[in-house]
């Protein structure tokens, strides 16, 4: 492309702009890809966050989602008006909610589940269902139920099919009337599980009277759900609810932030917010650096042309605006590519999210504000990096600008020292002199490669951290093969019955008690796990991976729970038991443990029994099984009437690994690709601009007899040396960035440990070296095409 082929109506600066863009087209594309990486990730995270937030808000409003849940052992219906009269309560539903076992036709064993009652003859004023298919159960028929859509589809059910359900040891058959979605079951997960399994956990809704008759709950309820007029009154409303329900076995009311389903959705939104705040700035900072390098070296090359333009009367502003337009085109290309990529990835990830979050609809939709922000941020990055480089040259007077800058003086300093080493060959001296000649330029190149390597390592270590925390949770902390949950706390006879099942090689009882912990004017609603002395199958670990055993009379807390309570080992915490006699005690925190999933609080089982004021009971058992009899034991347990849930560790681990690989793995794969693009962009721009600046010098060396290999070594050796110098810095910076990401990406549900495998360092380094090699090959081809005639003219 040249001025000759451009339309005559274009002005001189317009022609120059197009020619400049064509001459640096590869650098423009490299910068645009880096900008696109930052823009697409920012748009992706912002769009997904907006989509989830808006979908959740609209769905919750349409479904009249509860603000407070108040479980109770058994409360009379007559207390419902008093609950409705609590200050701040807008609506209340007193309902029956019972754990159940569901036998699916054609499927061995049972699935865990629960039954929830619906009000008679009217729509619910809280937690209204979304009917997907069929109809809701008829209040005049005692054997009908609506089923959660995900469970029905996972088990191949249809309206009209029948299910056998076991509640409190009684078995009855229900006919499915329809499929529903529930706002409080957007993320449907069985109690005690880490990941959802739609085939193994189902929810059924029946009319209130038939369910009350089947469960012997006539005239009573087991849970009240509330909507508030003002969320600011939540704390006082919960306190009053607990006071009213305490005589009837109230288990402690809790707000939406502690509701399992909403907690998972909120965690995902927080992760997306963190992702959009942390990752894109790194990409855009590197983009600004690339723009600065490209434009600063471009204007240095074009000093004579700038001087000529100013001599013809173009003002400083016009020259600056010329380069400003160049910057805007580069930024515009990158922003457009980023928007298209971000929207495409957003739609792909939204389709994946809809498989885990049961919303009636979920469409990727970034708001206008999101688009404005990503365009503005990319523009600031590009313009900020470019105008700094343009300003200096634009202010030069024509005579000064038309002369090349004075060459550096090598008569002193490091330049002179290089010539004194006889063992350094001539070409290597030229490389070292070039680096010494432009130390700032070399530092920028090293910084760019360091940044790209650090980003690569920090992204890849997230995968290392995920694998480590899965291994630590399943192989170190929880070493059982199966976890069995009883329908209610049982004595030692139940443990003996299960332990005698052929194939069970070890059984350890556990007791789960809901409590409220208070310290430093903070409180948390958790479950204390009572474990046997010297427990082997389920343990808490410290930061070094060593087991933490609860001492007599002491309490062990997970680090995240201790942080939320602002408490450390040796301090005391107030414990309010939320069941039975509801005692209140103060105990010391004996140790702090490290957990990566959820929060943990643990005591010795005997101490917990004394705290609650009961004989030593078990809520369930951890089992070690003979691998050859695992299936037989599982089937036997699923048929046991006292068992409401069985969790197999192998299945849970595989399910969690698949979830991590599919959900986070896709996102991390995208980030790795973009980080590799940054590396390629940094190295390619460096070597390409060096070639443009020195092509006459290199061609002259060819005329003087240097071979193509020698000339290539002079140019590419500089990049290789700077890349090798950047690698150790990048490894250190990557570790620091990984620590930062592990802290910022932590949530109440899971925490990423800081773990870096040596293979990650090696793989990231290979990517950087590969990017340098590819860039060198691209420029090496251009070295072979040097115009020697132009070089001869330059020697005259």
Q: Coil, helix or strand for 49?
A: helix
Alpha carbon distance 674, 463 (integer Å): 16
pLDDT at 65: 95
**Torsion of the alpha carbons at 416, 422, 428 and 434, rounded to the nearest 10:** 0
Q: Which of 545, 422, 418 is nearest to 475 (CA)?
A: 545
Least confident of 291-295, 556-560, 614-618: 291-295
Alpha carbon distance 508, 136 (integer Å): 43
The kind and range of the H/E element at 395 are none
Please state the φ and ψ torsions of residue 22, each to the nearest 5 degrees: -70, -40
pLDDT at 323: 78
Please state the φ and ψ torsions of residue 636, each to the nearest 5 degrees: -65, -45
Beta strands 643-648; 482-490: pairing state = antiparallel
pLDDT above 50 for 39: yes
CA separation, residue 470 to residues 157, 461, 592, 602 (Å):
33, 14, 20, 20
pLDDT at 179: 95
Local structure of residue 536 (DSSP, 8 states): S
Q: Given pLDDT bands bounded at 50, 70 and 90, which one contains residue 404?
A: low
Contact criterion met (CB below 8 Å) for 101 and 165: yes
Tell me the β-bridge partners of 657. none
Q: Coil, helix or strand for 176?
A: strand
Per-residue pLDDT of 212-236, as tens digits, reads 988 889 999 999 999 999 888 898 9
Alpha carbon distance 447, 432 (integer Å): 18
Q: Given pLDDT bands bounded at 50, 70 and 90, which one contains residue 795?
A: very low
Q: Mind giving me the DSSP string for 214-230?
A: HTT-TTEEEEEEEEES-
Helices 649-703 and 708-744, packing angle to 10 deg: 150
Q: Which of 57, 96, 104 is nearest to 198 (CA)?
A: 104
Beta strands 601-604; 522-531: pairing state = parallel
Alpha carbon distance 583, 577 (integer Å): 6
pLDDT at 3: 45
Residues 299-324 have a mean pLDDT of 76
**Torsion of the alpha carbons at 546, 548, 551 and 553, rounded to the nearest 10:** 170
Please state the φ and ψ torsions of residue 267, each to the nearest 5 degrees: -65, -40
Tell me the β-bridge partners of 181. 130
Per-residue pLDDT of 143-195, as tens digits, reads 899 999 999 998 889 999 999 888 877 888 999 999 999 999 998 887 767 77
Q: Which of 789, 198, 251 is nearest to 527 (CA)?
A: 251
pLDDT above 60 for 411: no
Q: Given pLDDT bands bounded at 50, 70 and 90, which one contains residue 401?
A: low
pLDDT above 60 for 796: no
Alpha carbon distance 754, 338 (integer Å): 30
Alpha carbon distance 387, 62 (integer Å): 51
Contact criterion met (CB below 8 Å) for 116 and 146: no
pLDDT above 90 for 631: no
The kind and range of the H/E element at 158 are none
pLDDT at 793: 58
Q: Given pLDDT bands bounded at 50, 70 and 90, which one contains residue 110?
A: confident
Alpha carbon distance 285, 733 (integer Å): 15
Alpha carbon distance 135, 122 (integer Å): 14
Least confident of 61-75, 245-259, 328-342, 408-422: 408-422
Local structure of residue 596 (DSSP, 8 states): S
pLDDT above 80 for 128: yes
Tell me the β-bridge partners of 226. 68, 92
Structure tokens at 182: 């529930």
For the chain, percent helix, then strand, then coil, each to nearest 5? 55, 20, 25
CA separation, residue 405 to residues 197, 399, 706 (Å):
69, 12, 27
The kind and range of the H/E element at 233 are none
Local structure of residue 10 (DSSP, 8 states): S
Contact criterion met (CB below 8 Å) for 152 and 179: yes
pLDDT above 80 for 11: no
pLDDT at 5: 59
Structure tokens at 588: 């010391």
């Amino acid at each position: 492309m040249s001025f000759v082929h451009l339309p005559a109506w274009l002005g001189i600066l317009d022609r120059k702009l197009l020619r400049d863009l064509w001459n640096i087209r590869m650098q423009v594309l490299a910068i645009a890809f880096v900008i696109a990486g930052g823009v697409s990730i920012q748009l992706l995270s912002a769009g997904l966050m907006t989509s989830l937030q808006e979908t959740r808000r609209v769905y919750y409003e349409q479904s009249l989602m509860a603000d407070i849940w108040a479980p109770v052992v058994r409360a009379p219906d007559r207390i419902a008006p008093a609950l409705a009269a609590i200050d701040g309560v807008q609506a209340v539903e007193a309902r029956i909610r019972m754990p159940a076992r569901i036998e699916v036709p054609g499927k061995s064993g049972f699935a865990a589940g629960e039954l929830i009652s619906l009000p008679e003859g009217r729509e619910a004023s809280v937690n209204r269902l979304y009917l997907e298919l069929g109809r809701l159960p008829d209040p005049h028929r005692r054997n009908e139920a609506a089923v959660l859509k995900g469970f029905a589809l996972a088990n191949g059910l249809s309206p009209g099919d029948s299910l056998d359900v076991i509640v409190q040891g009684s078995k009855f058959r229900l006919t499915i009337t329809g499929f529903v979605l529930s706002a409080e079951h957007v993320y449907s997960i069985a109690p005690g599980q880490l990941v959802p399994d739609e085939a193994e956990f189902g929810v059924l809704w029946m009319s209130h009277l038939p369910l009350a008759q089947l469960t012997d709950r006539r005239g009573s309820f087991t849970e009240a759900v509330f909507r508030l007029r003002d969320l600011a009154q939540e704390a006082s409303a919960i306190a009053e609810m607990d006071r009213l329900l305490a005589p009837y076995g109230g288990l402690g009311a809790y707000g939406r932030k502690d509701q399992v389903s909403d907690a998972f959705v909120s965690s995902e939104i927080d992760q997306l917010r963190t992702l959009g705040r942390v990752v894109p700035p790194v990409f855009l900072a590197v983009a600004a650096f690339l723009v600065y390098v490209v434009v600063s070296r471009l204007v240095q090359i074009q000093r004579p042309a700038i001087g000529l333009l100013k001599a013809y009367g173009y003002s400083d502003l016009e020259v600056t605006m010329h380069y400003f337009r160049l910057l805007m085109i580069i930024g515009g290309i990158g922003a457009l590519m980023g928007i298209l990529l971000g929207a495409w990835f957003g739609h792909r990830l939204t389709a994946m999210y809809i498989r885990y979050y049961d919303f009636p609809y979920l469409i990727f939709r970034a708001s206008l504000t999101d688009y404005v922000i990503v365009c503005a941020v990319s523009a600031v990055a590009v313009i900020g990096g470019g105008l700094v480089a343009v300003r200096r040259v634009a202010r030069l007077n024509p005579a000064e600008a038309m002369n090349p800058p004075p060459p550096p003086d090598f008569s002193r300093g490091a330049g002179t020292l290089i010539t004194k080493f006889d063992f350094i060959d001539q070409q290597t001296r030229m490389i070292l002199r070039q680096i010494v000649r432009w130390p700032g330029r070399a530092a920028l190149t090293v910084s760019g490669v360091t940044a790209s390597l650090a980003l690569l390592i920090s992204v890849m270590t997230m995968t290392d951290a995920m694998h480590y925390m899965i291994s630590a949770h399943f192989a170190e902390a929880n070493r059982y093969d199966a976890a069995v949950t009883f329908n209610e706390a049982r004595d030692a006879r139940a443990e003996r019955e299960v332990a005698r099942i052929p194939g069970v090689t070890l059984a350890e009882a556990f007791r789960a008690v809901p409590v409220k912990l208070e310290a430093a004017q903070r409180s948390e609603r958790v479950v204390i796990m009572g474990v046997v002395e010297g427990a082997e199958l389920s343990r808490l670990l410290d930061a070094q991976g060593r087991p933490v055993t609860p001492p007599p009379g002491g309490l062990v807390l997970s680090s995240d729970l201790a942080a939320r309570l602002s408490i450390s080992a040796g301090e005391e915490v107030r414990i309010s038991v939320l069941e039975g006699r509801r005692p209140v005690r103060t105990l010391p925190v004996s140790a702090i443990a490290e957990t990566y999933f959820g929060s943990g609080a643990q005591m010795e089982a005997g101490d917990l029994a004394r705290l609650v004021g009961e004989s030593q009971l078990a809520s369930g058992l951890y089992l070690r099984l003979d691998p050859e009899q695992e299936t037989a034991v599982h089937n036997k347990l699923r048929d046991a009437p006292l068992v409401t849930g069985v969790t197999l560790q192998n299945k849970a681990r595989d399910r969690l690994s698949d979830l991590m690989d599919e959900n986070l793995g896709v996102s991390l794969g995208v980030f790795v690709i973009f980080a590799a693009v940054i590396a390629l962009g940094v190295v390619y721009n460096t070597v390409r601009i060096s070639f443009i600046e020195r092509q006459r010098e290199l061609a002259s060396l060819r005329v003087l007899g240097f071979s193509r290999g020698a000339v290539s070594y002079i140019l590419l050796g500089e990049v290789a040396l700077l890349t090798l110098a950047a690698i150790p810095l990048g490894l250190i910076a990557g570790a620091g960035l990984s620590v930062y990401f592990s802290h910022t990406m932590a949530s109440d549900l899971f925490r990423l440990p800081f773990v870096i495998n040596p293979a990650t360092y090696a793989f990231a380094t290979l990517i950087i070296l590969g990017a340098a090699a590819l860039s060198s090959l691209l420029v090496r081809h251009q070295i072979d095409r040097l115009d020697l005639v132009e070089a001869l003219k330059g020697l005259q």
